Structure 1
Amino acid sequence: MNTPPRDPALPWPSLLVLGGTTLLMVTAEMLPTAVLAPMSAGLGVAESDTGMLVSLWAAVVVVTSFPLVRLVRDRDRRAVVAGGTVVLAASSALTALAPTYAVAVGARLLGAAAVGLLWATVNAHVADLVPERRLARAVAVVLGGATLGMVLGTPLARLAADAAGWRAAFWGLAVLTAAAAVAVRLVVAPARPDPGTTAATGGATPAGHRHGTAPLLTVTGLVALVLVGHYGAYTYITRLTETSAAILPGGTGSLLLAFGLASAAGVALAGRFGERTVPALVAATVATALTLAALAIDAEPALGVLTVVAWGVASGALPPLAQTLILRLAGPERRAFAGALIPVLFNGGIAAGAALFSTVVATAGVTAVPLPAAVVVGVAATGLALRAGARRTAEPRTAAALPKA
């Protein structure tokens, strides 16, 4: 009788270093929003111009991820992550030194290109570090760092800016990012041999996770639709929740912190589902649609706060679940492609959602946002559920075809 190989523990040092790197990546992306007023004054431009630094960042990630991944496809991924992190540190330092807005734009474009490559490479390497059955938990650990970048990174950067100026915030980020590059070289482990197959399943791909381009692109398209609806509404979260935030000490800031902490809880929850990624993703998508619809109801402020927290948990679970499923569908043979697809997907969803719902706000006001956003996410949830049903129908034949241990 064949005994399956022992499932190894997670490579915690590697995952924690990579998670810390994603924390710094997200902090770098969002830092101009945290220091919007002082940075605008320091560079002598309008706040809208400084806000554009975030939009340009997302656009560069979308455009450069695939070409850069192709350029370094034969390199050791650990070296690529370390090198990309050094470039990101240089970008932050150049932004801190920027005498003009044009120089700041150039520095930010450099950092955005580095982050596009970093996301793609980190995504692929995480999948190479663990057996497939542990992929969901590993992804949740690394994306937990990205969530902390939103919850802790940008507020701490704002504190640094208030204490020593906006340039000090970028200098601090540059130093921490350079230290992260050293940690990647010293700590992150190399890829496992035969990732995603032998160690996890004894040589067979788990039923329901057959590798192919069509399922991969279908799921990717549906997840992109989810992100359009979610980020379209999140763009206006401060306006949509004004009444609810008023009952909290600290107002909107406290409600945003509650949303961030709820999102972190959603990331942690996603890592508990293991092989049940598909039903968990469907459930999180449905829950996101329902909470968005609930925002349209003129309810008691306390109920509004609970709705925002529920929205945070549901939407927080979406990225790790979606990323895990995309990497599984890609398999080892398409892992580099899937790794690049994920940052393009997320940044594209942010950009498209913000653009689409800005039109809604311009024509019908902020209060018109939640229902269309819920409909968009609901359509995607229906598509994901239909795909899950088709997968279950095909599973008996697939399972029967696999040899028994």
Structure 2
Amino acid sequence: MPLPLYLLAVAVFAMGTSEFMLAGLLPGIATDLDVTVGTAGVLTSAFAIGMIVGAPLVAALARNWPRRSSLLGFILAFAAAHAVGAITTSFPVLFTTRVVAALANAGFLAVALTAAATLVSPDKKGRALAVLLSGTTIATIAGVPGGSVLGTLLGWRATFWAVAALCLPAALGILKGIPAGRVKEQATDGPALRAELAQLVRRRLILVMLLGALVNAATFAGFTFLAPVVTDTAGLSELWISVALVLFGFGSFAGVTVAGRLSDQHPGSVIAVGGPLLLIGWLALAVLADRPVALLALVFVQGALSFALGSTLITRVLYEAAGAPTMAGSYATAALNVGAAVGPLIAATTLSTGVGNLGPLWSSGFLVAVALLIALPLRTVIAAGRSTEVLQ
């Protein structure tokens, strides 16, 4: 894999840390800015919504810009948003910085996903995507727990400064590693924006975007509310929350790595095997959550299966959106973040029911079951590999 891919992954690591880090920082933010924890939680929603709206919007605006300039601009805007957030004493200003950061993140990821696919040969898109998404998985292993510890020791503002600082070497890497010229698909004789948007009426593209959103919704439904399962249901101390998150992160890294070597040539096999196992895993986790050893083992397994299946489906989005070379990454980003926004909302509605803390885990199983019911009758379509045949 070319060096620029790893440089892009460093930036994705910083952005992934920012996206997930608020879970451990909300109490400190609420106290410092004199708002309730519930109000502070709106910062998470602001980021997710900014990602959903920002991915196609910013990608459309930047579609004819040189990739290096676009990526550099987005990473510097992301760093600036965190620097402003680190010094503000106003909650509305902090809210605004989260929206700006989300827009920059969405634009960066949309361009980076497309750029990653063009840095390798056409039959290695899955492996390229695995390298890029490893930045997110490593963020869950090291960035988020590290940010939580830093926030505990030095305050939440220190974590914001750390994320801003992480962007600087990534920006330098982009400046040195990404070609400055305009690539073929960015040229003025490439597809018009209307033609790229028209790809969204293709049923095969809609199918893989829907499946990717459902699997990611399941992932975030269970992941977001994992802490009370660890402490209340399993009866472990708060220290074990970080252990569980790290195990999930290691699992996600393993899943992305393995799937990256299979998703180009054998996407149908990954989905046919990984989908049912993912469903069984969520159900087993809901049943065995009161047993600490089983809980921690299954957290690792679910991280691996969730990211293996999710990354495979997002790779399929890039293949199926080949007719939209500058917008394909934004379609993948939007699908991921629709799931990230919807999953926790569905899971939250189950917390007040009779199943309590286990509700989000049952929700994850339900979302995967829906995805399988949609996918299995159309498995030959999904398994079409690199075929460009259109499902009419």
Q: Provide TM-score, normalisation by structure 2.
A: 0.86
The 1:379–1:165 alpha-carbon spacing in structure 2 relative to 1, beyond 3 Å, is closer
Query: 2:13 maps to which residue?
Result: 23
Which of the numbers 317, 327, 336 marks the counterpart of 2:326? 336
Which of the numbers 283, 304, 309 marks the counterpart of 1:313? 304
Deviation for aligned residue 1:233: 2.4
Query: 1:207 maps to which residue?
Result: none
The answer on whether the counterparts of 2:137 and 2:253 sit within 8 Å (CA) in structure 1 is: yes
Deviation for aligned residue 1:38: 2.3
Which amino acid in the other structure matches residue 384 of structure 1? Answer: A
Cα deviations by residue, 1:45-88 (Å, 9 ceiling, x for unpaired): 22222222111100111122212111111111121011000100
- 1:72-91 matches, cutoff 5 A: 72-91=62-81
Which of the numbers 129, 142, 153 marks the counterpart of 1:139? 129
Which of the numbers 249, 271, 274 marks the counterpart of 1:281? 271
State the alpha-carbon separation in 2 of the partners of residues 69 and 248 from structure 1: 44
State the alpha-carbon separation in 2 of the partners of residues 184 and 334 from structure 1: 24
Cα deviations by residue, 1:198-231 (Å, 9 ceiling, x for unpaired): xxxxxxxxxxxxx982211111112222222332
> Is residue 143 of structure 2 the alignment partner of residue 153 of structure 1?
yes
Which amino acid in the other structure matches residue 148 of structure 2? Answer: R
Query: 2:206 maps to which residue?
Result: 217
State the alpha-carbon separation in 1 of the partners of residues 99 and 386 from structure 2: 46
Secondary structure in 1 matching 2:351? helix
Deviation for aligned residue 1:91: 0.2
Query: 2:361 maps to which residue?
Result: 370
Identity of aligned residues (%): 25
Cα deviations by residue, 1:9-59 (Å, 9 ceiling, x for unpaired): x21x10110000100111122233232222222222222222221111001
Deviation for aligned residue 1:194: 6.8
Secondary structure in 1 matching 2:287? coil
State the alpha-carbon separation in 1 of the partners of residues 250 and 149 from structure 2: 19
Deviation for aligned residue 1:247: 6.5
Cα deviations by residue, 1:91-139 (Å, 9 ceiling, x for unpaired): 0100011121111111111111111111111111111111121111111
- 1:5-404 matches, cutoff 5 A: 10-11=1-2, 13-189=3-179, 213-242=202-231, 246=235, 250-273=239-262, 274-298=264-288, 300-331=291-322, 333-364=323-354, 365-390=356-381
Which amino acid in the other structure matches residue 216 of structure 1? Answer: L
Query: 1:202 maps to which residue?
Result: none
State the alpha-carbon separation in 2 of the partners of residues 181 and 130 from structure 1: 21
Deviation for aligned residue 1:259: 1.5
The answer on whether the counterparts of 1:270 and 1:321 sit within 8 Å (CA) in structure 2 is: yes
The answer on whether the counterparts of 2:16 and 2:139 sit within 8 Å (CA) in structure 1 is: yes
The 1:39–1:215 alpha-carbon spacing in structure 2 relative to 1, beyond 3 Å, is same
Secondary structure in 2 matching 1:74? coil
88-97 vs 321-330, which deviates more?
A: 321-330
Deviation for aligned residue 1:249: 10
The answer on whether the counterparts of 1:245 and 1:254 sit within 8 Å (CA) in structure 2 is: no
Query: 1:6 maps to which residue?
Result: none
The answer on whether the counterparts of 2:244 and 2:296 sit within 8 Å (CA) in structure 1 is: yes
Compute the RMSD of aligned alpha carbons.
2.8
Cα deviations by residue, 1:316-350 (Å, 9 ceiling, x for unpaired): 2133212211111111x213222111221111112
Query: Larger Cα Rg: Structure 1 or Structure 2?
Result: 1
State the alpha-carbon separation in 1 of the partners of residues 152 and 238 from structure 2: 21
Deviation for aligned residue 1:157: 2.1
The 1:70–1:241 alpha-carbon spacing in structure 2 relative to 1, beyond 3 Å, is same
Secondary structure in 2 matching 1:362? coil
The answer on whether the counterparts of 1:125 and 1:191 sit within 8 Å (CA) in structure 2 is: no
The 1:388–1:176 alpha-carbon spacing in structure 2 relative to 1, beyond 3 Å, is same
Which amino acid in the other structure matches residue 336 of structure 1? Answer: T
The answer on whether the counterparts of 2:4 and 2:173 sit within 8 Å (CA) in structure 1 is: no
State the alpha-carbon separation in 2 of the partners of residues 59 and 243 from structure 1: 30
Q: Provide TM-score, normalisation by structure 1.
A: 0.84
Query: 2:195 maps to which residue?
Result: none
Deviation for aligned residue 1:190: 6.3
The answer on whether the counterparts of 2:216 and 2:310 sit within 8 Å (CA) in structure 1 is: no
Deviation for aligned residue 1:393: 9.3
State the alpha-carbon separation in 1 of the partners of residues 181 and 130 from structure 2: 18
Structure 1 unpaired stretches of 5+: 1-9, 196-210, 399-405
The 1:66–1:249 alpha-carbon spacing in structure 2 relative to 1, beyond 3 Å, is closer
State the alpha-carbon separation in 1 of the partners of residues 168 and 384 from structure 2: 50
Structure 2 unpaired stretches of 5+: 186-199
How many residues in Structure 1 have an aligned counterpart in Structure 2? 372
State the alpha-carbon separation in 2 of the partners of residues 163 and 247 from structure 1: 22
The answer on whether the counterparts of 1:66 and 1:340 sit within 8 Å (CA) in structure 2 is: yes
The answer on whether the counterparts of 1:292 and 1:311 sit within 8 Å (CA) in structure 2 is: yes
